[in-house]
């Protein structure tokens, strides 16, 4: 059963940097099948980079990035293409094609990647739009839908090809609280009803902790904490504590390093009065 099935995504001792500086250093973790996994951590910690390694847009310099047991970094172009078809991606703000209707936006991956007859494409698109509550909005143009609706259209597009894995990069960015709650519930619901595995990169602690089964906190090139949301919340690691409590100061400094306040103020030597 699911407890014994191997993880859908696995990082084994992965090191990756853009140039000389390592962003991830000997990182290992698993993304359990059928679950919602949240990837969190301070800005610049490498969360988007993790998604790019899974999608094969970047390759690890050391270690393995496994997707369904296969090393993404070693895949030839054809195998990578096949693997990517099994991944839905919803990147920041999930930009829609502005010159296409909602229906055509969702149909796009089906028309690009399959040879399905147009009548079937339409039926699949309407099913996906129905799943996100927007079947009735099929003929609208992106300029005619709200930000929250546009995000749901992008979600329908991300699941158009029935992926095994959906990766969301900041799916809640810029949404009002109601749309944010709707988007979060939808991610959870689609994960469960369609039997997906989901990875969410998000800064929204409350909403993400509410819907995630598993949380991974990245910091300083490694994993500061991982586990169930309630366990990560209780972590005594100072970095994780600062992060989950949104404290401005802690191991991650609020102030950029500089001379002390006492030395800086009331000392006009050389400065202008
Ligand atoms: N193409 C690139 N070339 C060089 N450096 C990059 C590139 N993409 C990202 N970086 C750097 O790598 C680090 C990690 O970036 P990444 O986008 O993975 O972080 P993140 O955790 O997703 O951040 P955020 O939460 O702000 O989106 C950052 O310091 C960033 O400046």
Please report, for the domain that includes residue 46, its CATH number: 3.40.50.300
Distance 233 CA to ligand 1 centre (A): 25
Give the residue whose CA is nearest to atom 17 of ligand 1: 48
Give the pLDDT band (50/70/90) at residue 235. confident
Q: Is residue 273 domain-resident? A: no
Residue nearest to atom 9 of ligand 1 (CA): 49
Element (H, E) at 119: helix 118-131
Q: Ligand 1 pocket check: which of 11, 27, 45 to mutate, most ligand atoms within 8 Å of Cβ?
A: 45
* Residue 260 CA to ligand 1 centre (angstroms): 30
Domain-embedded: residue 264 = no
The helix or strand, by DSSP H or E, that contains position 123, with its residue range, turns out to be: helix 118-131
Q: Is the confidence at residue 269, as pLDDT, over 90?
A: no
Q: What is the mean pLDDT of residues 164-179?
A: 89
Compute the average pLDDT of residues 212-226: 92
CB distance 49 to ligand 1 below 6 Å = yes
Please tell me the total count of domains within the chain.
1
Query: Please, what is the Cα angle at 106 between 31 and 175, to 5 degrees?
Result: 65
* Pocket flag, ligand 1, residue 20 (CB < 6 Å): no
* Complex prediction ipTM: 0.93
Residue 248 lies in a domain: no
Q: Which helix (H) or strand (E) holds 263?
A: helix 261-264
Taking the centre of ligand 1 as the mean of its atom positions, its distance from the CA of residue 44, in whole angstroms, is: 5
On whether residue 52 sits in a domain, the answer given is yes
Identify whether 243 is part of a domain: no
Q: In what order do the strands lie in the sheet with 9-18?
A: 21-31, 9-18, 62-67, 70-71
265 lines ligand 1 (CB under 6 A): no
Residue 120 structure tokens:
């079937």
Mean pLDDT of 54-83: 95
* Residue 242 located in a structural domain: no
**Does some domain include residue 144?**
yes
Tens digit of pLDDT for each residue in 48-57?
Answer: 999 999 999 9
Q: How confident is the model at residue 272 (pLDDT cuts 50, 70, 90)?
A: very low
- Minimal-distance CA residue to ligand 1 atom 31: 44
pLDDT at 265: 74
**What domain range includes position 83?**
9-237
Residue closest by Cα to atom 7 of ligand 1: 18
The closest-lying atom of ligand 1 relative to the alpha carbon of residue 170 is: 27
Whether 143 is in the pocket of ligand 1, judged by its Cβ within 6 Å, is: no
In a domain? residue 101: yes
């Amino acid at each position: 059963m699911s407890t014994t099935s191997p993880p859908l995504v696995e990082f084994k001792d992965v090191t990756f940097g853009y140039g000389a500086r390592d962003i991830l250093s000997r990182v290992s973790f698993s993304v359990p099948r059928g679950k919602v996994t949240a990837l969190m951590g301070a800005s610049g910690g490498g969360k988007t980079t993790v998604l790019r390694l899974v999608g094969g847009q970047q390759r690890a310099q050391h270690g393995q990035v496994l997707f369904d047991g296969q090393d993404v970094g070693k895949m030839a172009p054809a195998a990578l293409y096949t693997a990517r078809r099994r991944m839905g991606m919803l990147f920041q703000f999930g930009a829609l094609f502005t010159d296409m209707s909602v229906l055509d936006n969702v149909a796009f991956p089906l028309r690009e990647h399959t040879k399905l007859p147009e009548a079937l494409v339409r039926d699949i698109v309407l099913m996906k739009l129905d799943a996100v509550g927007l079947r009735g909005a099929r003929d609208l143009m992106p300029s005619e839908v709200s930000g929250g609706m546009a995000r749901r259209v992008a979600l329908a597009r991300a699941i158009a090809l029935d992926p095994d894995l959906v990766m969301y990069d900041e799916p809640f960015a810029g949404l009002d609280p109601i749309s944010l709650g709707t988007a979060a519930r939808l991610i959870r619901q689609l994960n469960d009803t369609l039997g997906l595995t989901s990875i969410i990169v998000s800064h929204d602690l409350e909403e993400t902790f509410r819907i995630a089964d598993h949380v991974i906190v990245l910091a300083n090139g490694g994993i500061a904490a991982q586990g169930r949301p309630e366990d990560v919340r209780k972590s005594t690691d100072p970095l994780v504590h600062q992060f989950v409590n949104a404290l401005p100061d802690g191991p991650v400094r609020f102030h950029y390093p500089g001379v002390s306040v006492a030395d800086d103020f009331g000392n006009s030597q050389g400065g202008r009065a």
